[in-house]
Amino acid sequence: MRHFYTLLMFALLLTGCKERNVPGNNNNGAGSEANQKANTFFDNIYEEELNFYPMGKSYLGRKEDNDKWDDLSEAHAEKVQQFYKDVLKRLETEVDYNALDGDAKLSYKLFKKDYENRIADHKYRHNDYPVNQMFGLHAEVPSFLISIHNIDNETDAKAYITRLNGVPAMFKELETGLEKRAANGVIPPKFVFGRVLDDCKNIISGFPLEKTENNNAIYADFEKKVKALDIAEDAKKDLIGQCATALEEQVKPAYKGLISYLSQLQKKATKDDGVWKFKNGAAYFNNQLNRMTTTGLTADEIHQIGLDEVKRIHGEMETIMKATGFKGSLQEFFKFMREDKQFYYPNTEKGKADYMEKATAIIDEMKGKLDELFITKPKADMIVKAVEKYREKSAGKAFYNSPAEDGSRPGIYYANTYNMEDMPIYQMEALAYHEGIPGHHMQLSIAQEKDGLPKFRRFGGDYTAYVEGWALYTEYLPKEIGFYKDPYSDFGRLAMELWRACRLVVDTGIHSKKWTREEGIEFYSTNTPNSMGDVVKMVERHIVMPGQATAYKIGMIKILELRDMAKEKLGDKFDIKDFHEVVLTNGALPLDVLEDLVNDYIASKS
């Protein structure tokens, strides 16, 4: 089920800088009537589609429809599908491709291909797991209300309460969708249910839902936001009381109902982990790989690339290991790095606070180096934040949320401090660069703030290989300007790249070669220094998000290939800032389109 807000995920320093004329970052003919008409069309369609998704509006920081949840019904999905088909018909009649020039032609091609893909993917809409240990509406409700639903006045507070009262209806639609999937054999593996059920129970814990001194996470959020309003105390008290009532009478029963349904569905679950078990599993996985990598690489080819990269990175790690003076095998060095206490903050409140302070310092230091690498830099600020208590147990180790469209909410780099043994000190640099600066925050914010691009390119662009490939590339990039001075930290960088190389092997292993969850765990634990907690979470992520994790390394490899090609062909004319300008200022792109833009850049400089 496609949700608009999933395209806004993963999303500073204000530095005035005049843009240079860099090929690939141009709007040749942007002022022409045809181009203006095309961009108006693209933006109008973006707004029309946004009307299908109230939560998408909230992610952008907009207030209209902020008392509604997204519609999960099958009827709504069919309505959206018809909208996609109508859009393509309108594109042919309302926009003359041959009259376009410059960047407008690229926008046309991207727009058309995107909608064609959406229509083609409709047949796979029930092949996903809308409730799993990684994400889903059960976890999205509190996360969304706490992190996205701002309360700036009494109207916003009432909209928050209306959303609480709307949870039961939304969960009924969710259960209907789960039942439809189950009828087709699309049921999550057994391990998923325990994680999800624990999360659901945790979400409805705390006062006023239980007799305890600890407040429920949603209640605490609402109370804090309302108390900060400049309104009468009686009005605040009344709103807080309405929130408590909604939680007790609507939200808690909705979660209880979902828990009951999932407990029954759990009895039908098996230990088969790959999507090969679906009726159309092979075709679905091939489609996933195509969408995630934006290449025609097969599962076997991706699997072999992963094996080759694992071997190469192991060799570079052995060099660092010897430089540290360690005596023993690489696997023994992995064990040392995994277990020695010097590489971890203590799993205490102070240890967690120290980690967050250091992560912030790493980001701040990198901010001071951006002028060496980039022309365009984000206007939006970015903060570092610990994953909230209610979801830290099952959430990933780190992730990023984009800033609001109007700048009212900064970008957020989330670090998960639930178990400090999953957050080694030697990986802190690479993790911060990937999720924050110069990784996701740079890429997503620059695109979002780019004047001249239609909105679907500024805020959309569902191209995981580009988005995650860039973030992985930016783990390596700081090494070229003097970061990773500590050999253990440089080892951490390689460990994270190795982690992504292993993903190519295990993801395709599970979904194409019928590996079990245990075989995936064994491959990671043998070939990486990561903790068992890391390993288990990643293998379980592969299982519920088929193909997604292959995008990172494929994207990074392509960006480095394009950079090497530009360096070789341009020689002294190559400028890293110009290269990054081409890569970053066109929004997210399929890798073949990115290659075309880099070739244009090379030709213009030659």
- C-beta separation of 421 from 344 below 8 A: yes
Strands (E) across 200-336 are located at none
Cα 42 from Cα 47, distance rounded (Å): 9
pLDDT at 31: 55
Residue 413, classed as helix, strand or coil, is: strand
CA 65 and chain centroid, separation: 24
Task: Write out the H or E segment, with its range, that includes residue 146.
Answer: helix 137-147
pLDDT at 459: 86
| Tokens found for residue 458 | 């500024």
Pairing status of strand 382-386 against strand 398-401: unpaired
Cα 245 from Cα 222, distance rounded (Å): 13
* Phi, psi dihedrals of residue 263, rounded to the nearest 5°: -65, -35
Cα 133 from Cα 540, distance rounded (Å): 8
| Tokens found for residue 460 | 């959309």
* Phi, psi dihedrals of residue 143, rounded to the nearest 5°: -60, -45
Q: Which residues pair with 382 in a beta bridge?
A: 411
| Tokens found for residue 483 | 């970061």
pLDDT at 135: 86
Range 305-332 burial, b when 16+ CB lie within 10 A, else e: bbeebbeebbeebeebbeeeeeeeeeee
| Tokens found for residue 571 | 């020689």
- C-beta separation of 540 from 184 below 8 A: no
Cα 95 from Cα 109, distance rounded (Å): 12
Q: Which residues pair with 384 in a beta bridge?
A: 413
Own/partner pairs for 122-127, CB < 8 Å, 24+ apart? 122/81, 123/280, 124/280, 124/284, 124/287, 125/1, 125/2, 125/77, 126/177, 126/180, 126/181, 126/184, 126/186, 127/181, 127/186, 127/275, 127/278, 127/280, 127/284
- C-beta separation of 415 from 332 below 8 A: no
Residue 400, classed as helix, strand or coil, is: strand
Angstrom distances, CA of residue 322 to CA of 335, 341, 488, 496, 554 = 15, 20, 12, 19, 29
Task: Write out the H or E segment, with its range, that includes residue 580.
Answer: helix 576-584
Tell me the angle at which helices 487-512 and 551-570 cross, rounded to the nearest 10 degrees.
Answer: 120
Per the rule left: phi > 0, alpha: psi between -120 and 50, beta: everything else, 158 is: alpha
What are the respective helix, strand and coil percentages of the chain, to the nearest 5?
65, 5, 30
Cα 385 from Cα 444, distance rounded (Å): 18
Q: Which residues of the chain have pLDDT under 50?
A: 1-30
* Phi, psi dihedrals of residue 15, rounded to the nearest 5°: -130, 120
Segment 533-547, tens digit of pLDDT:
889 989 999 999 999
- C-beta separation of 345 from 351 below 8 A: yes
Mean pLDDT of the chain: 92
pLDDT at 405: 81
Q: What is the DSSP string of 179-198?
A: HHHHHTT----HHHHHHHHH
Strands (E) across 41-153 are located at none
- C-beta separation of 409 from 150 below 8 A: yes
Angstrom distances, CA of residue 139 to CA of 218, 269, 551 = 12, 21, 25
Q: Which residue, among 247, 243, 194, 242, has the nearest Cα to 222 in the 3D structure?
A: 243
Cα 566 from Cα 558, distance rounded (Å): 12
Spell out the residues 6+ positions from residue 604 whose beta carbon is closer than 8 angstroms to its own.
Answer: 23
Cα 501 from Cα 527, distance rounded (Å): 10
Cα 201 from Cα 209, distance rounded (Å): 11
Cα 553 from Cα 469, distance rounded (Å): 6
